[in-house]
Amino acid sequence: DGGITQSPKYLFRKEGQNVTLSCEQNLNHDAMYWYRQDPGQGLRLIYYSQIVNDFQKGDIAEGYSVSREKKESFPLTVTSAQKNPTAFYLCASSEGQGVGEQYFGPGTRLTVT
């Protein structure tokens, strides 16, 4: 299960608090992605980054923010502006944007009460 890691596996927060999810990869991949997965639904793209210091909004970016200061790291912050933050969050990486296989991390299950 090496290559791309996410921490923590489970995260609990009170409503109104910002929370940051970690994603690290040692695959030397240029592109990284954040997806949200809700029960019975597919993977919806939140943000993606093709290179360091650059990132783009995906389909559901409202209420989320990211940074890409290092090639290996792509943390996601779920802000208090996200109306329904409880979900399973998956990070992924690939050699380049849209190129070849996306390797997924193990995911973080966030519960906000």
- Binding region for another protein (CB under 8 A): 33, 40-45, 48, 58, 90, 96-102, 104-107
Beta strands 108-112 and 4-7, pairing class:
unpaired
Give least dist CB 98 to another protein, A.
5
Q: Which is nearer to another protein, 51 or 99 (CB)?
A: 99
Give least dist CB 92 to another protein, A.
8
Give least dist CB 20 to another protein, A.
20
Question: With contact defined as beta carbons under 8 Å apart, do 65 and 43 qualify?
Answer: no
Q: Which is nearer to another protein, 57 or 70 (CB)?
A: 57
Closest CA to 22 of 53, 66, 59, 87: 66
Give least dist CB 104 to another protein, A.
4
Phi, psi of 37 (to 5 degrees): -125, 120
Structural element, H or E, at residue 112: strand 108-112
Q: Which is nearer to another protein, 16 or 40 (CB)?
A: 40
Name the CA radius of gyration of the chain, rounded.
Answer: 13
